[in-house]
Structure 1
Amino acid sequence: MDTIFALASAQGKAGVAVIRLSGPLAHPAAAALSGAALPSRGMRVRSLYGKDGSRLDDGVVLTFQAPASFTGEDVAELQIHGSTAAVNAVMRCLADMDGLRLADPGEFTRRALENGKMDLTQVEGLADLIDAETEAQRKQAQIILAGELGNLAERWRRDLIRAASLLEAVIDFADEEVPTDVTPEVRQLITDVIADLHREAEGVRIAERIRTGFEVAIVGLPNAGKSTLLNALAGREAAITSEYAGTTRDVIEVRMDLEGLPVTLLDTAGLRETDDHVESLGIERAKKRAEAADLRVFLTDDPKELGVQLLEGDIQVLPKSDLRNSSDEGISGKTGQGVDRLISNISRVLGNRTTTHGIATRERHRIALITARDALSAAIAVLESGPDLYDIAAEELRTAIRALEALVGRIGVEDLLDEIFSSFCLGK
């Protein structure tokens, strides 16, 4: 197998840069740079030299022996000064060594998967952790990275293998007297797993929103103060404001962190009847985005006049409270009145929804869970028909087991791997 290397820290000037190597030549390559032998596992402060004996930099060399490393292979890490020149000099020397090549995106993590150091859900958790922008995203990614979804899948798999083995025993000894009726135990094992699978599948939508972000649409009539409110929430001039109706023609998006939750605020075109073709396109797009959003903030005295349905959890506030005689419940992006209260209300509504999320976070997970659940429901139905159909029930159990194995990447996911690892940086 090739020995790969890459910069594992961020590009650009920094105090320290980390260059990672993995493969059979990782330790010899690091030793060649440092001019002396290295321990199979340990840390040494060394000067690094080029082929011509010129000094490249001083740094710390860490070595890890297979299989006790991130990738499961021999690994070396060079922690050097984080100047662009120093990093480039060391990387050039590594590239000139026989048997070494620059890693592909995500190749270190892919090797960890192939060597059994991680399952596929943990790989996805690592990708989510790298992309995490909010505290809720960090916590969720850490749960997946710690292997909790994989542990659940393994527990379900063990229970289903136990159930299948009981059925297979009855099938194998069909001509003999079986001393115990296995149906109650098999039924209980399957029923318990179905309940778990259903709960996790139902929680995927909210978990996925934590991972990708909630959408909150601000809707109202033209000149209701939507863009001014968006700017107040964002703390910057994200949207153009004016006294002219129809200024906002397209949906403007602002990404925010609201009490640890990732939220994208949508400033939409004012909803009204218009003969302006371009504005009408913006209004139609605004309605579609508002209807698809997780939460809508209605800036209006009467939501019915907007043509967008007010759903449970949506928030209605009276616009432009600065122009009203008395409006404790109103809001004004211009003066800031009610803005903090609106942020708290949005955070509360979305926070309440996150209490129903499960561990599974992706549509791929949901499909695998539902496939397993449906196969188990079919197995229960067949089980009630008696031992003559146990072979069909056992096959349904095997279908469910295969779905769980696909969930953690044991089988049937080769076509997904290139897509998954393409989102990783070179050093991961």
Structure 2
Amino acid sequence: MVKHEISTIYAVSSGSPPAAIAVLRISGPQAGAALQALTGRSFEPRRASLARLRSQSGELLDEALVLWFPGPATATGEDCAELHCHGGRAVLAAVSDALSKIEGLRPAGEGEFTRRAFANGRIDLAEAEGLADLLEAETELQRAAAIANVDGRLSAKVGSWREAVLRLSAQVEAALDFSDEDDVGELPAGFTEGLAELDGELEQALSAPRAEKLKEGFRVVLAGPPNSGKSTLFNALTDSEAAITSPIAGTTRDVIERSVAIMGVPFSLVDTAGLRDQGGEEIEQIGIDRARSELVRADLVLWLGPEGAGPRDAWEIAARSDSPDFAPKASGAHVVSAANGVGIADLKLALVVEARSALPKAGEGALNARQVARLEEAHAAIRAALEQSDLLLVGEELRSARLAFDRLIGRATTEDMLDTLFGRFCIGK
């Protein structure tokens, strides 16, 4: 069989130029040769050295800090190099052009450095997904959840479940091996208890808040009749003028949604059309219908209408406390005035506390839809094993559970899925 030579890739891995410093990464079997071609010298591993970068014709391109990382103990599992250049566009273009003329080198594709790290066993699939989430994180909770997966906490937990399945499978195999034609061997004491304990752990993991909720944000819908102060409060909570405010009834005719971070917690705040039995016209009625649909989707509704008239479990908001016709509500309601800021800070704090109880805890990893699907497969197999009395069928269910765990962390996966995942990364990562 002919072994195909692995190409050496390069890309700018820092932010878009211009910048004070830019980092060019090189990974692959020709990384060392590329350094030699650019600098005319070799470098001590893992030690920063100052060097002049030159083109093939000897033209000085830049003076850069150079780092050399021989594989396999590198980020990608391959020989790697980093060029910390001056971050001007012309400098990066010149150095990249010089790299392109070196035999065996080519520009990297999206996420190709991370894909090589996965292919070479430096990270598993859950860690790669965590890294993609980390790059997209916009709030502190999103960052903390992503870093937990990058740090391998989910992978370690899945690994412990997989080891438990292997131990249980070994017990089943031993019982089958020691059986004769007329009698099946007995399972050791504690087998059923161990299986039930694993079932409970998987059920608990599946009941935890999902990563999608962390990305979308805790959904808060402001609702009430026309002219109840929804849009004014919406603007105060989002620190914007996204919603038009007016004393004219029916000003808000459609759903207005804004993603915001409050104290590091992601929210989706939704302003809606004023609710009344009949809209003033067809367009307003469409807005009212959409507002009612939003009430169903909400994680929490802030009700600014008459007390007790809102959806079940909605928070009562006594808005416009500065107004001469202010209508107070019973104790427990949030009294606010978006005009002078009364109660806004307290309402934001209460929203953060409520959202934190529904979102993944800081520092805990969160399962995405793909991971949940694989974990559900493993859970279903463990449940089926608990209900079986035939040891052959018990062993088959345990094998199915192990395969689901393998797919979760990437021991068994498909190229299409990998293309989709690593396509989320920028070039140079």
Output the TM-score relative to the length of structure 1: 0.92
Matches within 5 A, 1:81-100: 81-100=86-105
5+ residue gaps, structure 1, are: none
Separation in 2, partners of 1:138, 1:359: 10
Q: 1:402 to 1:178 in 2, by over 3 A?
A: same
Tell me the equivalent position of 2:191. Answer: 186
Give the superposition deviation at 1:375: 0.7
Give the superposition deviation at 1:337: 1.7
C-alpha distance after superposition, 1:180-235 (max 9, x if no partner): 84243321221121111111110043x43224422211112122221211211222
Tell me the equivalent position of 1:370. Answer: 376
Separation in 2, partners of 1:336, 1:33: 61
Separation in 1, partners of 2:155, 2:245: 50
**Alignment match of 1:5 (pick from 2, 10, 16):** 10
Query: 8 Å contact 1:201–1:360 — kept in the other structure?
Result: no
Give the superposition deviation at 1:2: 0.8
Query: 8 Å contact 1:15–1:81 — kept in the other structure?
Result: yes
Separation in 1, partners of 2:260, 2:165: 43
Separation in 2, partners of 1:87, 1:70: 22
Query: 8 Å contact 1:218–1:298 — kept in the other structure?
Result: yes
Query: 8 Å contact 2:209–2:359 — kept in the other structure?
Result: no
Tell me the equivalent position of 1:417. Answer: 418
**More helix per residue: 1 or 2?**
1
Give the superposition deviation at 1:322: 1.6
Tell me the equivalent position of 1:43. Answer: 48
Separation in 1, partners of 2:138, 2:325: 41
User: What count of residue pairs does the alignment treat as equivalent?
Assistant: 417
Matches within 5 A, 1:140-151: 140-151=145-156
Tell me the equivalent position of 2:112. Answer: 107
Aligned residue identity for 1:143: A
Separation in 2, partners of 1:204, 1:153: 17
Tell me the equivalent position of 1:169. Answer: 174
Aligned residue identity for 1:342: L
Q: Secondary structure of 2:73's match?
A: coil
Tell me the equivalent position of 1:339. Answer: 344
Query: 8 Å contact 1:120–1:408 — kept in the other structure?
Result: yes
Q: Secondary structure of 1:5's match?
A: strand
C-alpha distance after superposition, 1:26-75 (max 9, x if no partner): 12112211232233443211111122222111111111111111000001
Aligned residue identity for 1:266: V
Q: Secondary structure of 2:33's match?
A: helix
Aligned residue identity for 1:226: K
Query: 8 Å contact 2:8–2:30 — kept in the other structure?
Result: yes
Separation in 1, partners of 2:247, 2:94: 58
Tell me the equivalent position of 1:401. Answer: 402
Tell me the equivalent position of 2:3. Answer: none
Aligned residue identity for 2:319: P
Query: 8 Å contact 1:203–1:356 — kept in the other structure?
Result: no
Tell me the equivalent position of 1:254. Answer: 258
Q: 1:31 to 1:247 in 2, by over 3 A?
A: farther
Tell me the equivalent position of 2:386. Answer: 380
Give the superposition deviation at 1:363: 1.3
Separation in 1, partners of 2:178, 2:315: 64
**Alignment match of 1:236 (pick from 235, 240, 244):** 240
Separation in 2, partners of 1:126, 1:233: 31
**Alignment match of 2:128 (pick from 103, 116, 123):** 123
Separation in 1, partners of 2:94, 2:283: 55
Query: 8 Å contact 1:301–1:318 — kept in the other structure?
Result: no
Q: Secondary structure of 2:189's match?
A: helix
Output the TM-score relative to the length of structure 2: 0.92
C-alpha distance after superposition, 1:72-93 (max 9, x if no partner): 0001111111112211111122
Separation in 1, partners of 2:427, 2:83: 15
Aligned residue identity for 1:135: E
Separation in 2, partners of 1:93, 1:282: 59
Once the two structures are aligned, what percentage of the paired residues are identical?
39
- RMSD between superposed Cα atoms in Å: 2.2
Tell me the equivalent position of 2:202. Answer: 197
Give the superposition deviation at 1:156: 0.9
Query: 8 Å contact 1:60–1:80 — kept in the other structure?
Result: yes
Tell me the equivalent position of 1:310. Answer: 312
Query: 8 Å contact 2:360–2:366 — kept in the other structure?
Result: no
Q: Secondary structure of 2:9's match?
A: strand
Tell me the equivalent position of 1:392. Answer: 393
Tell me the equivalent position of 2:217. Answer: 213
Query: 8 Å contact 1:375–1:400 — kept in the other structure?
Result: yes
Tell me the equivalent position of 1:223. Answer: 227
Tell me the equivalent position of 1:29. Answer: 34
Separation in 2, partners of 1:22, 1:119: 19
5+ residue gaps, structure 2, are: 1-5
Separation in 1, partners of 2:425, 2:207: 28
Query: 8 Å contact 1:19–1:77 — kept in the other structure?
Result: yes
Separation in 1, partners of 2:57, 2:126: 45
**Alignment match of 2:365 (pick from 359, 366, 369):** 359
Q: 1:355 to 1:30 in 2, by over 3 A?
A: closer
Query: 8 Å contact 2:11–2:427 — kept in the other structure?
Result: yes
Aligned residue identity for 2:51: R
C-alpha distance after superposition, 1:286-327 (max 9, x if no partner): 2222321221111122352x5xx223xx32101222214665
Query: 8 Å contact 1:211–1:361 — kept in the other structure?
Result: no
Aligned residue identity for 1:17: A
Query: 8 Å contact 1:46–1:60 — kept in the other structure?
Result: yes
Tell me the equivalent position of 1:321. Answer: 321
Mean CA deviation greater in 102-111 or 363-372 = 363-372
Query: 8 Å contact 1:105–1:426 — kept in the other structure?
Result: yes
